[in-house]
Amino acid sequence: MLSAPLTAHTALVSRLNRQSVNKHFDAYRDIDWDEPEHAIDARDPRWEKDSDDPLGGTDWYRALPQPLRAKIGLHHIVCQLKVGIDFEAVLARGLLEFASALPDRSADFRYAYHELIEEAQHSLMFREFVDRSGLSAPGLTGFDAFSSRFVPRLGRVFPELFFLFVLGGEAPIDWVQRRALAKRRALHPLLHRILRIHVTEEARHISFAKSYLLENAPRLNPLRHLRLRIQTPLLLAATARSMLVPPPVLVKTYAIPREVMKQAYGTERERERVIESFEPVRVLCHKIGLIADSTRWLWQAAGVAPAAKPGPPRQRPVPGIIGHVPEAWSRPLDLAP
């Protein structure tokens, strides 16, 4: 029987499959949750937001008592992790749908299950942190929670759109976590451990999604390709809001004034921050023809592309952890905790 031709995608997937066997993490074997230095104290100054954080840089936040600054910082991390748990649950269901439609002897099937297992470990890791923090968070709410119910089915009926949803959710949080790891400011050791594990394995997941889209998106019929061009900037804007902006429960709990939220998240500087977090996705979308003259205004209106032509951006370095941001999406990374 003739074997399927070896493409760049199948070669990458074979390598990812080997790496998922040789280097993977367990939420309880690879993290000593009862280590004294891993204890979570809401007053620990290491939870405080940096001055370059949108909220952390406001006069309102800097004027708060130190214990309250720390608690707000910790609570926002908890909110992000709860959103991450919900997002990875959607991703896991979508991966099962994706795998169910694959033919026999597909390397993609095996990798989908490797990724499914790794995402489950991430959810265990995130939930353990949330539970030990003693703080509560809602996860996805409102329209985001409602619309997420329809995403898993895309894994089977429209996998290209599903994997763009995957990248839309992973890009901003990956960007935030890499920046946190690259800073010289000391992170809490438990958070540092969690981020190192997550960034290491998410690099493989990102590589797979990117490769799948490069291989398959250009082959779509014109109607499906048009749907991707229209929906991609909208879903990127939605995931950025869920991942980067404090949820209403945080605003209400700490009585953050509306003008402070506007100052922190309604500025041109924050828009540039969102745009930067999506640069790797935008480079990919440019390569597969999703940024066209007819839809360029959508990218700009959604706040995920600069006012200039949203073509390939220049490669900005990420100090101290990994060469260039787009390069980080070009191959799996080896970031051992």
Question: What confidence tens digit (pLDDT) does each residue in 35-79 have?
Answer: 999 999 999 999 999 988 999 999 999 999 999 999 999 999 999
Whether residue 224 is contained in a domain is answered as yes
Q: What domain count does the chain have?
A: 1
Whether residue 13 is contained in a domain is answered as no
Domain that residue 111 falls in = 23-328
Whether residue 334 is contained in a domain is answered as no
CA–CA distance, 130 with 290 (Å, rounded to integer): 38
CA–CA distance, 236 with 240 (Å, rounded to integer): 6
Whether residue 7 is contained in a domain is answered as no
| CATH code, domain with 299 | 1.10.620
Whether residue 276 is contained in a domain is answered as yes
Token couple for 165: 């949803």
CA–CA distance, 302 with 240 (Å, rounded to integer): 10
Whether residue 286 is contained in a domain is answered as yes
What is this structure's pTM? 0.87
> For the purposes of burial, counting CB atoms within 10 Å of the CB of 288, is it exposed (0-12), middle (13-18) or buried (19 or more)?
buried
pLDDT (tens digit, 9 = 90+) per residue, 119-167? 999 999 999 999 999 999 998 888 888 888 999 999 999 999 999 999 9
Whether residue 79 is contained in a domain is answered as yes
**In the structure, what pLDDT confidence band is assigned to residue 306 with cuts at 50, 70 and 90?**
confident
